[in-house]
Amino acid sequence: MSYGPVRGAGWTRTNFSPLFKNHNNPPVFCNSDKAVRGPGIDGGTTVALSSAKKTTATALGVTLAGAALAACGAQQGARTAPVSAPSPAPPSATIPHQTRTGTPPATSSRPPSRPASPPAASSATTRSDGAPGGTRVSREIQHGLEDGGKAVALTFDDGPDPRWTPQILALLARHHAKATFCEIGPNAQAHPAVVRQITAAGHRLCDHSVHHDEHQSAKSADYNTHEILDARQEIADAAGPGAEVPYYRAPGGDFKPWIREIAAGHGMRPLGWTSDSDDWKRPGTAAIMHHINANLRPGAIVLMHDGGGDRTQTVQALSQLLDQLDAQHYTYSFPGR
């Protein structure tokens, strides 16, 4: 039940529940030396009490007034009692988002402690932001292709890059080849137009983490959860509505089972490779081709890079590789999901 406002400076409402929690005893309002009874439920009159006034009253009125004044005095005391400042809440840990342009970000001078056993799953794995790929898939590292026969899968890591990725896309289009692009989340966020060129051409996207930390298994479950799921969200946002991110490739192949479990539990198949070009070292076009051909066979998953530095040698080697694959009657496939 609500009561009308009490006018006048310094008045406060005091709730004497359950003492005045009935129709005959409405709430009491207090001032420094007064107590006033609010309007009754049935339109009764207001009764004012003062230590200097009201010398005559019925026994019941005196009893009620005394209770009201005692409560008011308690309230006045509470207003003047010192209140200690609340202890500040501990700051929440955040993970900085920075774009990787060459090497992984520098780590702290104090080495992280390695978990003695796989950390427990974090509550942060629950997401409600509508990111695609929520259906659980196998956590086994995928080294096979969707298509059989004489097929290969081309994969490119560390992009997208506004200079090198479009050149690679142009070469793939010329040879009617499809590929999978394993992207770093902040790079995708910085270059959404390039991400949409990738998907518009029919290629697939892969989560390659936020910071490209090649030692992430030494970190906590929370850290890894954010590295994987935040990157996926950034890639999906850059690609636009309905985009899928069906794979996760761990930086440096740091594929501990519990890390794979995080990705698989959110619909991303851990993606490996079988033919490493070593193009990130920029050893020369001939050396890149030599590394690829050392393990090139039907069913191979080739690892190259479209980001992380100067990829002139990668573009040159890819041009030669596509010519070779066409001449050898290879077809192009995606990794299995």
Q: What 8-state DSSP symbol labels residue 125?
A: G
Catalytic residue chosen out of the listed positions 157, 161, 230, 279: 157
Angstrom distance (rounded) from CA 313 to CA 316: 5
Q: Is 305 a catalytic residue?
A: yes
Angstrom distance (rounded) from CA 221 to CA 228: 11
Q: Is 310 a catalytic residue?
A: no
3-state SS, residue 278: coil
Burial (CB count within 10 angstroms: exposed 0-12, middle 13-18, buried 19+), residue 125: middle
User: Exposure pattern of 59-90 as b/e (b: 16+ CB <10 Å)?
Assistant: eeeeebbebbbebbeeeeeeeeeeeeeeeeee
Catalytic residue chosen out of the listed positions 203, 208, 211, 305: 305
Report which residue type is found at 101.
T
Angstrom distance (rounded) from CA 54 to CA 34: 11
Catalytic site residues? Answer: 157, 305
